Amino acid sequence: MTSTVTATPGVSQGLDAQALRASLERLAASAGIRQWDLGAACSTDTSVQVDRGEAKQMKGAQRSSITIRVWNDDGLVGVTSTSDLSEAGLEKALAGARDASAFGNADDTPQFSPLATAPLQELHQPLQDPQGILRLLDTLKAAEAELLGRHGAIATVPYNGLAERSSERLYLNSAGASRQQRLSTASVYLYARAEETGRKPRSAGAVRLAYGAADLDIAGCIDEAAQRTISHLDYAPIATGRYTCVFSPEAFLDLIGAFSSLFNARAVLDGVSLSNRESIGQPLAVPFLSIHDNGLHPGNIGASAFDGEGTPTRRLALVEGGVLQNFLHSEATARAFGVVPTGHAGLGAKVSVGPDWFEIGPTPGSGGGQQGLDRFRAPEPIVWIDSLSALHAGVKASQGSFSLPFDGWLVQGGETRSIEAATVAGDIRTLLNAIVGFEGEAKVTPDGLCPHVWVEGLSVTGDT
Amino acid sequence: MVASATSAGPGTTSPDPGAPTRFDAAWRPRLESLLASGSAAGADLVELFLERTDHLGVLAEQDTITSVSPAFGMGAGIRVFRGERDGFVSTNDLSDAGLRRALEQALGMLGLQLPSLAGTGLTTGFEGLADLRDFAAAKEEWLRRCPELREATGRLLEGTGLLERHGSHLQVRRGSYARDWQEVLVAASDGTFGRDIRLHQSVGLNVLAADGEHRSSVGRRYGTSGRPDDLREWNADGSAQEVCESAGTMLYADYVEAGQLPVVLANRFGGVIFHEACGHLLETTQVERGTTPFAGKVGEAIAHGAVTAIDEGLSDGAFGSLSMDDEGMEPQRTVLIENGVLQRFLSDRAGERRTGHARTGSGRRQGHTFAAASRMRNTYIAAGPHTPDELIASVDRGLYCKAMGGGSVGPTGQFNFAVEEGYLIENGQLTKPVKGATLIGEAKEVMPRISMCANDLELAAGFCGSVSGSIFVTVGQPHIKVDSITVGGR
């Protein structure tokens, strides 16, 4: 039996690209398969959760997965995935992909990316040794204790976790392409729950990512979680009506991410995007808005150097000066549009396309909308949206509409008070054209880079 | 000494040559050896969960099959308890060495060490596994009896063709089919030894209708468990008609006006309100976290007297039904609320240890990479004495929610869910269709406002994502009336 998983001391169980290629070439040849590619990944994860000073759960996981695509004699594509990277598993997956290829779509057949052997940009992703679960546990216990001590009303931190991961992924194809990337990452999240006598419980939290547990900004995570939770303790209902809303960077990035089909060539071809083939070059938003996708930004912890088809990741202008500039592409959609793949593909018989990491802000030279915006000095009441919920249910991407619960504050006369329970609703295209301007510096978040964004005339429903 | 999960040595992902690959009683010696070792190390309880999976996903768009996605896999999850603490390790490596390494890591998380393999006469407290309870014996043929690819793709194309026949202004027609087969073997140091095969199939139809600036996207999904002929017996025509009718109605609907309104929620997937507003808060997972307002309220009224709510894993063919849960326990019919009074919580092994609530056969997980947690199965509000028309007639001005989208609940008990198809109620009559509504509220406030239940209980299949992953569930209810709730809109 040939093992395609080998030990890589200090990092994780590693993928042996040469062994994997040798196995696939031999198995494919014996099955009469001339064209194939594959994506494989393996990871080792360790995580802890705590509850009021005690370990609640400690988890470890070793995972491996592989997706194999084959092209049959008619040029049709089939795919199969498995967690079994043994020789027998690969053989079964290859056979499954060949069987599935009989049902391949002749009208939309993926090919190898022409950029699957293009040079990759070198990423600064320092590999860090894992700390081990006991150190993670001690660190998280201390963080929880610190957070509990920040305010008498914070009684628990019901959602918390500290995790570290070592992972590796690769892409190979029968034309000789070979991509491989190793990565170590760590994350911490702290969501506190606070309750004062006679009042409703309130909750808020914070997340931090880094390349290793030792680099996590845990103090910053505690500060942010405490500050946000405490700021929601004094709450009041808000009257239903139309408001100027200020989206936090996280909230605006979430909203744009939920409507990313606007920029998705796959969605355009499938007819489920609000954009169409003729939308490139057309105004989409206010003339001072820029949106780029940049998976290579140094703030994108865990960035991928290449996509599922081996295409290099790159920075791509989606909107500049309010005008739609480019779509995100796979090999197949790029071919359909007569452009080059952009590095946003998955791997499948029908290849999915998705964004990496957004950069949102004013278009250079555009003025950037109204200047000097300050929600604490605004003459009218401002709804400051801290975080959006239930995007999976409240966003109708193909219609453009959204109706979403949010946590936030009403800012009035310089005073800030948490909003008890409310939803914000609207249409994404209307919203993009109702942006007033930006406030403050852009902030790096796990999902992208964005300043606070002012939008006027949004419908807010309150609990009164 | 604690073994970090990252120190794993070389491994393969299949069992030792000659080792049994089928999950049956032949695994007993290997599992007993692991359980004995874990017990000898000082664990209060050791649980092994082995899994093999076989998945098929098919997508049809317009009149073409655009994606066929088979997947298969296997793995194990090993959980060790000591007091109220637990360590959990999952692996794809089912070799003896791989499983022992995973056990060693799980023990190490609790400060325990594997005893020497050479040791004999270990004091373990482990008395061996009970006779295998093989719930899978009658299910061996299920996978083989499911439709082959050609038949499955044919049925889907029939569905998208029927959408074309019944719909108008359809820009996109999609049909999707998912078949999830899972074989599990559960063994624990308390003697639990069970095997099961699960089969879940679901088929969905979605359309996007467009006419100028008007757009509506509507989808429905139908699912069953343990019925290999499900796709063959699927009423494609009825499903297509339902989807097209809804899309046509909603295409020109106005956005709902926001406010505090009485609402009537339809049966079937309307049950998502109870699932989100209350069901999650009756899982011992929430009691452990201190995130349910209902902890310590057993025997107290938490809902209107019209409300009786049940969670069970027994309904034949329902998406959330099980022969045994993922901890080897047979499911029960658990009355959660009776006439408004809280009766009990849904509990698993960890919940029983940490909260004292007895297990209910509700320990569930997506797969071997997740530790089981207390989760819902088939959850519904029981039928009441009224007709649906009586509920609507009782409302002067409100909202009728005919079809619901997804929802969620947060750590403070605030829930939300989307209304896919809504109608205004004016003077006791349904009038114009409205869209874009989101209902939000808090369980403690909303449960007492469910004041009327109709006599038309029906269930609907769904997926629930939570601490132990995404699992198959059923939601359900008769038509119900909520006296007042926040309706988010424009």
Neighboring chain B residues of A166 at a CB cutoff of 8 Å: 6
Q: Strands, DSSP E only, in B192-249?
A: 193-211, 214-225
For residue B17, is pLDDT > 60?
no
For residue B193, is pLDDT > 70?
yes
B452 has a chain A CB within 8 A of its CB: no
SS3 content of chain A, % helix, strand, coil (to 5): 20, 40, 40
The pLDDT, as a whole number, for residue A453 is 98
Neighboring chain A residues of B437 at a CB cutoff of 8 Å: 403
* Overall average pLDDT of the A376-401 stretch: 94
Neighboring chain A residues of B75 at a CB cutoff of 8 Å: 83
From the list B69, B87, B92, the residue facing A79 with the nearest CB is: B69
The pLDDT, as a whole number, for residue A1 is 33
For residue B158, is pLDDT > 60?
yes
Q: Strands, DSSP E only, in B33-84?
A: 45-61, 64-82
B38 has a chain A CB within 8 A of its CB: no
The pLDDT, as a whole number, for residue B123 is 63
Task: Suggest the residue from A3, A84, A86, A403 to mutate for an interface test with chain B (most B CBs closer than 10 A).
Answer: A403
The pLDDT, as a whole number, for residue A204 is 95
Cβ atoms within 10 Å of A32's Cβ, excluding its own: 9
Neighboring chain A residues of B61 at a CB cutoff of 8 Å: 270
Confidence bin at A387 (pLDDT 50/70/90): very high
- What the block records as the tokens of B196 is 């099961």
The pLDDT, as a whole number, for residue B408 is 83
* Overall average pLDDT of the A213-239 stretch: 97
The pLDDT, as a whole number, for residue A20 is 94
Please state the length of chain A: 464
Task: Suggest the residue from A4, A62, A430 to mutate for an interface test with chain B (most B CBs closer than 10 A).
Answer: A62
The pLDDT, as a whole number, for residue B18 is 44
A29 has a chain B CB within 8 A of its CB: no
* Overall average pLDDT of the A219-240 stretch: 96
Nearest to B450 by CA among B299, B296, B309: B309
What ipTM was predicted for this assembly? Answer: 0.91
Q: Is 3.30.2290.10 the CATH number for A5-224?
A: yes
Alpha-carbon distance of B71 to B76, in angstroms, equals 17
Confidence bin at B24 (pLDDT 50/70/90): confident
- What mean pLDDT, rounded, does chain B reach? 92
A99 has a chain B CB within 8 A of its CB: yes
* Overall average pLDDT of the A70-91 stretch: 94
Distances (CA, A) of B268 to A434, B184, B458, B460: 39, 30, 5, 5
Which fold does the domain B139-253 belong to in CATH? PmbA/TldD fold (3.30.2290)
* Overall average pLDDT of the A364-382 stretch: 95
Say how many CB pairs under 8 Å bridge A and B. 283
Confidence bin at A417 (pLDDT 50/70/90): very high
Neighboring chain A residues of B417 at a CB cutoff of 8 Å: 390, 393
The pLDDT, as a whole number, for residue B20 is 52
Q: Is the Cα dihedral A122, A123, A128, A132 positive or negative?
A: negative
Q: Is the Cα dihedral B476, B481, B487, B490 positive or negative?
A: positive
Summarised one tens digit per residue, pLDDT across range A40-53 is: 999 999 999 999 99
Q: Average the pLDDT over each of A3-17, A354-368, B221-235, B308-322 and give the range with the smallest value.
A: A3-17
* Overall average pLDDT of the A84-111 stretch: 94
Confidence bin at B194 (pLDDT 50/70/90): very high
Max CA distance (Å), chain B: 81
Summarised one tens digit per residue, pLDDT across range B424-451 is: 999 999 999 999 999 999 889 999 999 9
For residue B166, is pLDDT > 50?
yes
Q: How far is A381 from chain B (nearest CA, A)?
A: 18
From the list A7, A200, A425, the residue facing B488 with the nearest CB is: A425
For residue B470, is pLDDT > 80?
yes
Q: Answer yes or no: are the C-beta atoms of B175 and B160 closer than 8 Å.
A: yes
The bridge status of strand B64-82 relative to strand A77-82 is parallel
Site of tokens 């006027």:
A456
Give the CA-trace dihedral at A68, A72, A76, A79, to 10 degrees.
-20
Residue B238: partners with Cβ closer than 8 Å, 6 or more residues away: none
Interface of B with A in 249-288 (CB under 8 A): 255, 258-260, 288
Summarised one tens digit per residue, pLDDT across range B249-270 is: 999 999 998 899 999 999 998 8
For chain B, what are the domain ranges?
A: 5-55+69-132, 139-253, 259-488
From the list A103, A399, A425, the residue facing B217 with the nearest CB is: A399
The pLDDT, as a whole number, for residue B16 is 44
Interface of B with A in 325-384 (CB under 8 A): 369, 371
From the list B67, B435, B436, the residue facing A350 with the nearest CB is: B67
Summarised one tens digit per residue, pLDDT across range A305-346 is: 999 999 999 999 999 999 999 999 999 999 999 999 999 999
Neighboring chain B residues of A58 at a CB cutoff of 8 Å: 85-88, 109-110
Residue A219: partners with Cβ closer than 8 Å, 6 or more residues away: none
* Overall average pLDDT of the B167-185 stretch: 98
Task: Suggest the residue from B1, B2, B13, B49 to mutate for an interface test with chain A (most A CBs closer than 10 A).
Answer: B13
For residue B120, is pLDDT > 80?
no
Q: Average the pLDDT over each of A118-132, A145-159, A162-176, B119-133 and give the range with the smallest value.
A: B119-133
For residue A67, is pLDDT > 60?
yes
Confidence bin at A464 (pLDDT 50/70/90): low
Site of tokens 């999902």:
A447
Alpha-carbon distance of B247 to A411, in angstroms, equals 40
Summarised one tens digit per residue, pLDDT across range A348-363 is: 999 999 999 999 999 9
The pLDDT, as a whole number, for residue B9 is 26
The torsion angles phi and psi of B119, rounded to 5 degrees, stand at -65, 145
- What mean pLDDT, rounded, does chain A reach? 94
A403 has a chain B CB within 8 A of its CB: yes
Q: Report the 3 state secondary structure along A312-333.
A: ECCEEEEEECCEECCCECCHHH
Residue of chain B whose Cα is closest to the Cα of A86: B13
Summarised one tens digit per residue, pLDDT across range B204-237 is: 999 999 999 899 999 999 999 999 999 999 999 9
Q: How far is B289 from chain A (nearest CA, A)?
A: 5
* Overall average pLDDT of the B330-348 stretch: 97
For chain A, what are the domain ranges?
A: 5-224, 235-464
Nearest to B229 by CA among B154, B153, B147, B150: B147
The bridge status of strand A5-8 relative to strand A12-15 is antiparallel
